[in-house]
Amino acid sequence: MLTAVNPAPEHIGSSVSVSLRVRDLSARDLSACTWSGSATHLRHVEEELVRAAAGEVDYLAVCTAADLPVAIGGVDYRVADGAGTLWQLAVLPALQGHGLGTLLIRAAEQRIRDRGLHRAELSVEEDNPRARSLYERLGYVVHGRAPDAWDAEGPDGVVRRYEAMCVLMRRDV
């Protein structure tokens, strides 16, 4: 159960409770996840679902009572020995800041523990202080930095290589 407080002045003190559950993301969910990124991004997520079926990754969805994904993200078990690497974490923009990212990350950490591993790792772009702050609140600590790159589709529909410097973080789970 998630309780979100409406910050609008006319609703000071009001709240809304929403039932949520975490489950595996499926290909049928992708049409409801357009908020998470471009068509190129969703194709990459679809490719990761093939890896999930093979047991190489877990790809999770935080869903409403109507079974619609409002947060998604993956855990890759092949990136770092002895750890699960969280990646492609996204929360529906209108619901950011209401605990869905925390719920998603804690569920991902449970999947890591279920595999007998004891460390979660992730990277965050240096120019994303909001996400980094969340990770730090959840106990992740910086252990380095590294460049990363991926294909990103621009508003014009053209796919370009996006490059960023990332902070590497980890947490014992």
Q: How far is CA 160 from CA 44, 124, 150, in A?
A: 14, 20, 8
Q: How far is residue 169's CA from residue 85's CA, in Å, rounded to a whole number? A: 10
User: Would you give per-residue pLDDT tens digits along the chain (173 residues)?
Assistant: 554 444 555 555 667 788 999 999 999 999 999 999 999 999 999 999 999 999 999 999 999 999 999 999 999 999 999 999 999 999 999 999 999 999 999 999 999 999 999 999 999 999 999 999 999 999 999 999 999 999 999 989 999 999 999 999 999 99
| Exposure on the CB side of residue 115, measured as CA atoms within 13 A | 23
Q: Which of 22, 24, 104 is nearest to 57 (CA)?
A: 24
Decide if domain 20-172 falls under CATH 3.40.1180.10.
no
